[in-house]
Amino acid sequence: MTVSPQGSALDSFDFERELYELVHDTAPRLFAVVVEYRDGEGELGRDAAVVAWGLAHEDGLVEVARVGGGGGLRLAAPENVARYFGRGEGCASRVVWLGPKVSEAPGVPEVGAPAA
C-alpha cells in the first residue's frame, strides 16, 4: 500500500532542482594545459597553445587527455600535470582552470577594449 506524504514541507520538494544541484556540486573541474613559448627576449606569454584538457575530481584524482590524441594521464593532483608538458627549452606549461567567460572574468579587458 502506498501512502501519500502529509505536510507542506514535502510538497515544496523540487526533485529537478535537487538533481541539478547534486550534479553541479559533484561535477569535476575542467582545466586546460597550456604551453607558453618564450619570445626572442626570453619572456613567456607572447604565444601559447592548449596541449591537453583535464578533469579534476573531488578526491584529487586528475584525468588528462592530450589534444590530438595520444596516451592519457591519471595523476594524483592537478599540480603534477605541468611536469608532463612544455619541458623543452623555450617554453613552460601551466594549468588554466575553466571559469567564467573572459569578458566576465574580473580584471580581463574585453576583446577590442582598450587595456586599462
**pLDDT string in tens for the chain (116-residue length):** 555 555 555 556 788 999 988 988 889 999 999 999 887 776 766 789 999 999 999 898 999 999 998 889 999 998 899 888 877 888 889 999 987 655 555 554 444 444 44
Structure confidence at residue 102 (pLDDT): 53
Structure confidence at residue 52 (pLDDT): 95
Cα(93)–Cα(31) distance, integer angstroms: 13
Structure confidence at residue 56 (pLDDT): 94
Structure confidence at residue 86 (pLDDT): 77
Structure confidence at residue 10 (pLDDT): 53
Structure confidence at residue 4 (pLDDT): 54
Residue 98 contacts by C-beta under 8 Å, 6 or more apart in sequence? 29, 30, 31, 32
Which residue type, as a one-letter code, is found at position 11? D
pTM for the full predicted model: 0.68
The 3 state secondary structure assigned to 33-63 is EEEEEECCCCCEEEEEEEEEEEEECCCCCEE
